[in-house]
Amino acid sequence: MDQNQLSQVESLCLALYQGTSSSARAEAQKQLLTLQSTADFIPQCQFILDNSSLPYAQLVASSSLENLVTQFWNSFTVEQKLELRNYVLNYLATHAQNLEEFVVNNLCKLLCRITKLGWFDSNEHREIVDEIMKFLDASIDHSLIGLKLCNSLVDEMNTPIPGRTLTLHRKAAVSFRDQTLLQIFQVAIATLRSIQEVGPTKIQLAPEKENKVANLALSIATECLSFDFIGTNPEESAEDVGTVQVPSSWRPIVQDTLTMKLLFECYLTSSPPRSNMALQALVQLSSVRRSLFSSEKERAVFLQELMIGIQSIMQSKKGLEHIDNYHEFCRLLGRLKASYQLSELVKTSGFTEWLENACFFTIKSLQNWQHSMNSIHYLLALWGRLVAALPYLRADSMDSQRQSQTLRSCVLQVVESYIKTMLDSVDTVVASDGGIDDPLEDEGSLKEQMERLPVIARLQYETVAQYLLSMFEQSLTMYEQGISMPATQQVVTQIKVLEGRMTWLTYMVASVIDAQTTNDPRKGQAELLWDGRLSRCVFQLIQIVDFRLNNTSGQGKCDAKMEIAILNYFKSFKKMYLVESNSASSMGLFQSGTVVPGGSPAHPLLSLALSYSGASRTDEKEGSAEVVSVYDAMGIGDMMQVMNVMVNKLCNNIKFWHRSDKILEETLEVFVDLVSTYGSSKTLLSLETVNFLVHNHVGTHFPFLGYDNDNKYRITFYSALSRLVFSSSEDLNNSFDTFIAPNLNILAQLDQTPDLRSPAVKIAICGALRDLRGITTSAYSKRTYTLLFEALYPSSFPLFLRIAECWYDDPSVMTALLKFMQEFVLNKGQRIYFENSSASGILLFRETSSILCAYGSRILQVPVIQNIYLEKYKGIRLMLNTLSNALSGNYVNFGVFSLYNDQALQNALDVSLQMCLQIPLTDVLAYVKLSRAYFTFVEILFRNHLDVLSGLDSTVFLQLLKNNSEGLQSNELTVSSQCASTIDHIATYMFLNQNRDKPTVQLIRSHMQSEPDILPQLMSVLFNSLLFASHANHWAITRPILSLMLASETAFTDYQNQLISTQSPENQEKLREEFTRLTADIQRSVETTNRDRFTQKLTLFRLNVRQFLTL
């Protein structure tokens, strides 16, 4: 590279990072990426670094070097690797004061990547910290680079490199952990200590530099403590995965309370981001494993220091006005009980005061909910864990009893404060008129809170339930009055507030009833009583809402969030009280001999245990002795009547909320959940409302089901409703005929329509096909599928053919038709089974073939207007899937077609192959769903229809094989697996028939002889995928290698010689030895046992070869 070329590179970098034209940026990026194409560009990248002062050029050069080093690492000698490492070190040392921060970061990442890849190549790489120490002992600019190197090194060693095995990553990470990580952590702590020192020994730095040093030191400390010490690869977002598995060699520095004091001091004497980084480090430090400490006494000292530090923050409130600090402090509190037992916490001095402070802090946090919604669940988790540990607390000392009482008191305050704060938040949200985010709309945070609430609410359930009940009853009374008053602005506002409050209350009730008690999974009568009373309030709300909806013909809707909350309550109630397999206690039944609805009498011993448990409870009131089920407490009726209310509510939602996708989706989810269990589906069938729904699922009664609107949710509805009908064991034939009559009527009307090409007819067609698809998905058994088949064949298939002929150019119609056909011909669970005397399977395939040919023969000529996938490829994908399902269903004897000269099979295959060959392979591979359908279809052809394929021209046959060769290299595992299976089919066929002269065998030999290199090419692609590809699909790749070796030994020999020739003399000998081991004792058989044995040998071959192979 010369100065002119450097100027061109700099111009491209400016165009890439500062240009305003997207096309110019794309072109610049394309040209700059050539620097990453081969290892020959490494000198050019070094030239750019040495001679350019443009930061963007330096960035591009360092990034390119990192990619080249990663991609071509095995191509370098040990000396070249060390030379490159030393070059980067010298460059950083020489240019420390002149480099932009983003360039330094990239160069640090490059050096750390070299260090990780070469960790086992030479001692110099493992002694990287010695080089870093030289930076730390030099100027402040060099020290900053040294700290960045430490930070990058820990991060690099903790992160797997894409394309390299996890085994190699863990091997390097473990070695780094044992040799270097502690030293880096000590550097971080020592740096922090020098910053925090007071007096003449304190390092004097400019404030800006001091902040950078402190932030980097804290970041290093956190990275070290977050290191994956034992290879568990914990999910960062999972707060419960809390134990930090530091090695025993870390004991002196971790156990030393000065370390923790230092981090607390960093927090108390700084502001964000330094302060919240100190808290992040404390979160990790507080979670070190119990076994690290040599004795319980040392662990107690450590815990005491932690409690003191947390106490000081809660008392001083220092820094908690910053949202980042506040969030991390809540994480620290939440992690505390996850790492320490309550029995340990109570032994710390001042624990009672700590509890009171934590209670006060939690209540204040709740009151400031506008700034703390994302952190509240951590606090609720803390109290929940404390409550869960209460039964294990010793009660034989006055201190323990007093602390237990304090904890109960604090928990009650927290629960009541939470309930009150969330209810009061509604007033603030409504008054802001959109200016403040509604906590009810934050689904993630709401879900977290509702998961934490039951544990703390049930500690003193009666008190909490009374509070909830009084709030709910008060709101219900006011709401009932409000909706009957004239709709003035004040009344409308008040109704909004009441609906918001009852939305919260409904969520809370759903949460607390959907929970078992902490120390006993059975609910006592007192708990059932309060569950029932709270549930009664929800059902009263439902009746008020439905009465208002029906009286106003759907105009008087409540807030959509309240409807969602009611549906959420249904899920909880169904889970707790409508599961027929549950015990009598969870159904709310406690008398001996009681029968669970849909179940059988309880075992006498179980009944005795339950009655003893109920008698021993001290918190049950005598007045509730007559309550034996939750339904009695609800006062609505038995389970049948409760389910009737629920179903009425669901029907009203379907009827009046059909324009709200969210409510409709949640409603159908609840309906599907009710239908999915045997007991509840039986009960549903006996309800008048459900019976009406089964016989009148038309748009007149339910606008959502009308054929004048385009609604995708009708598929789910019909799937659930048909499942309900199919679950009936009595007179299923007649009940199904009655159920499907409205669907057949609309099909008959469409069939009588002379012109299908009108907008209104189009919507009706889509709706009718979606309905049929929903019904088909629920026909799981032979009996139910046969009923559906007989209802549709032959009367409806001429209409389906007409639709394909008329609407082949409309993606929405063809998607509806082809998705229905794809489901209809799918033989899941062997549901499609016809008697030996029946020709139904053949007739079904003939009709399917006609529909697919009508579409396929026309779609390729349709011009693309805007989106080629939606307009053309999606339909082709569905067509290929449909044909694949039909070809692999095992309900058609395809030999019949050629025997009787029927062209149905040949036509379907011809049209499908024509489409496969006309779609550019780049497009096939670009669209994942299309590539799955394409290669699945090809795999079925090579598996079952080689006689048809062999009759193709050699160019076409070989093109299909070459396409599979490309598909093998796909990152999509399904695609590469299908391609490997295809190659296995053809290779196995050739091997098993190598001494036969059947016409199909002769044709295949002729195809192969027309291009002799095809088998060696396939062998090369398979072996290269096995040895060099990064995906985890190695098992599938190994299967065709054996059959290909047996079918063509020369193909394997050619690849072996070619690979060996690319290696150094030293590696050539190693590779020959590995190939010898691989081919030793190979049996000429494609039996499963031989395949499995060869797969094991190939796996071992891959692991051994990848350690030394040069790319």
Reported confidence tier of residue 202, pLDDT bands at 50, 70, 90: low
Reported confidence tier of residue 990, pLDDT bands at 50, 70, 90: very high
Q: What is the pLDDT of residue 20?
A: 87
Q: What is the pLDDT of residue 73?
A: 86
**3 state SS of 601:** strand
**Nearest to residue 775, comparing CAs of 714, 701, 860?**
714
Report how far residue 453's alpha carbon sits from residue 449's, in angstroms, rounded to the nearest whole number: 6
* pLDDT, tens digit (0-9, with 9 covering 90-100), for 710-749: 788 889 999 999 998 888 766 778 888 989 999 999 999 9
Is the pLDDT reported for residue 224 higher than 60? yes
Q: What is the largest CA-CA distance in the chain?
A: 103
Is the pLDDT reported for residue 399 higher than 70? yes
**Nearest to residue 541, comparing CAs of 476, 484, 468?**
476
Residue 1017's alpha-carbon distances to 339, 952, 986, 994, in angstroms, are 57, 21, 14, 20
Question: Tokens standing for 401?
Answer: 């009893």
Report how far residue 510's alpha carbon sits from residue 574's, in angstroms, rounded to the nearest whole number: 10
DSSP annotation of 793 reads T
Is the pLDDT reported for residue 177 higher than 80? yes
Mean pLDDT of the chain: 87
Report how far residue 378's alpha carbon sits from residue 331's, in angstroms, rounded to the nearest whole number: 6
Q: What pTM value is reported for the model?
A: 0.81
Question: Tokens standing for 179?
Answer: 């040799």
Q: What is the pLDDT of residue 478?
A: 94
User: Between helices 128-136 and 182-196, what is the axis angle to 10°?
Assistant: 10
Phi, psi dihedral angles at 970 (to 5 degrees) = -70, 145
Comparison of pLDDT for 747 and 520, the residue scoring more:
747
**Nearest to residue 139, comparing CAs of 104, 97, 90, 111?**
97
Which range among 600-609, 751-760, 925-934 shows the weakest confidence by mean pLDDT?
Answer: 600-609
Provide the residue type at 906 as one letter: Q
Q: Find all residues with CB under 8 Å of 940, minimum gap 6, and list them.
A: 884, 887, 888
Reported confidence tier of residue 174, pLDDT bands at 50, 70, 90: very high
Contact 747, 756 (CB under 8 A): no
* pLDDT, tens digit (0-9, with 9 covering 90-100), for 835-856: 989 999 999 999 999 999 999 9
Q: Where are the alpha helices (DSSP H) in 248-350?
A: 251-255, 257-268, 274-285, 296-316, 323-339, 342-345
Is the pLDDT reported for residue 627 higher than 60? no
Question: Tokens standing for 1083?
Answer: 């049996």
Q: Over range 150-167, report the average pLDDT.
A: 88
**Nearest to residue 716, comparing CAs of 749, 683, 684, 676?**
676
Report how far residue 305's alpha carbon sits from residue 288's, in angstroms, rounded to the nearest whole number: 14
Contact 407, 390 (CB under 8 A): yes
